[in-house]
Amino acid sequence: MKEIKPIAFFHSPLTSKFGIPRQSGLSDSLIGKIVFEPQYQREEALRGLDDFDYLWLIWGFSANKSYDDSKLTVRPPRLGGNERLGVFATRSPFRPNGLGLSSVRIKRIVNGVIEVVGADLMDGTPIYDVKPYISYVDSHPTARGGFTDKKEWQQLSVIIAEEYSKCFCEEELTALKEVLSQDPRPQYQYDAARVYGMSFSGKDVKFRVEGNVLEVVGVDN
């Protein structure tokens, strides 16, 4: 088999693993860009793609440390970090080949760069392939979802005071609120006094959570 190499890299306001949505499609305002390597940034490579609404991205968990092949179970955050499941029964980033699969919405294609919405990729993530999403074969609305059917994800209410919200443009602020509402904390941490920090659009956003309310308490450039 031919060795696979990145065909593109992802550009995103999320520059660290902390805070990245746990699945694609959870933030309808989070915009990122797929920037192809020079040999693929050509019109003919994308011909016909603007007739589709969604893409599949095959990408690599490039920020992860090396994977231990002897560990074949993981603890999904959705289960509170207390229950182990087989790695192939989850979408854990810690997996033998370190590959991710995401469905994203195409916003527009400009000069060979694809702007997409709702990606769960960190800035600088290598992309190994891009394929169009085809609804009649890719959509299975009645399919069972395993443990995700049994435990509903609880979103948080987000409070951002004006002194902090003015640090972002309207588009960035909407995306930030959506990302924070997904509760980026590790699911086994519930200390209301603890202040967390998350990189977003070149700024360090500090927040704390009490109950189901997340409050931004600082923004540093």
Which pLDDT belongs to residue 87? 92
Residue 67 is predicted with a pLDDT of: 67
Kindly report the CATH class assigned to 8-61+98-138. Answer: mainly beta
pLDDT, tens only, 116-148:
999 999 999 999 999 999 999 999 999 999 988
The mean-pLDDT minimum among 36-40, 73-77, 95-99, 149-153 falls in 149-153
User: H or E element: which one contains 139?
Assistant: none
Q: Tell me which residue of 19, 34, 25, 36 sits closest to 104, measured CA to CA.
A: 25
Model pLDDT for residues 7-56, shown as the tens digit of each residue? 999 999 999 888 888 889 888 899 999 999 999 998 899 999 999 999 99
CATH fold, domain 150-220, is YaeB-like fold (3.30.2310)
Q: What is the mean pLDDT of the chain?
A: 91
User: Structural domain boundaries of the chain?
Assistant: 8-61+98-138, 150-220
Instruction: State the pLDDT at residue 102.
Output: 95
User: What's the rounded Cα separation, in Å, for the pair 209 and 163?
Assistant: 19
The pairing of beta strand 213-220 with beta strand 203-210? antiparallel
24, two tokens: 């694609």
Predicted local confidence at residue 88, as pLDDT: 94
What is d(CA 6, CA 59) in angstroms, rounded to the nearest whole number? 8
Closest CA to 103 of 91, 89, 85, 87: 91
179-216 pLDDT, tens digit per residue, is: 999 998 876 777 888 999 999 999 999 999 999 999 99
Establish whether domains 8-61+98-138 and 150-220 are of one fold: no
Per-residue confidence (pLDDT) for residue 214, from 0 to 100: 96
Place of tokens 């399919």: 143
Per-residue confidence (pLDDT) for residue 70, from 0 to 100: 76
Name residues whose C-beta falls within 8 Å of residue 186's C-beta, 6 or more positions apart in sequence. Answer: 77, 81
Q: Which carries the bigger pLDDT value, residue 56 or residue 97?
A: 56
Cα angle 55, 59, 61 (rounded to 5 degrees) comes to 140
Backbone phi and psi for residue 84, each to the nearest 5 degrees, phi listed first: -100, 140
Residue 221 has pLDDT above 90, yes or no: no
CB proximity list for 216: less than 8 A, separation 6 or greater: 158, 159, 160, 161, 164, 180, 205, 206, 207
Average pLDDT, integer, range 155-170: 94
pLDDT at 166: 94
Average pLDDT rounded to a whole number, residues 153-166: 92
Distance CA 86, CA 1 (A): 27
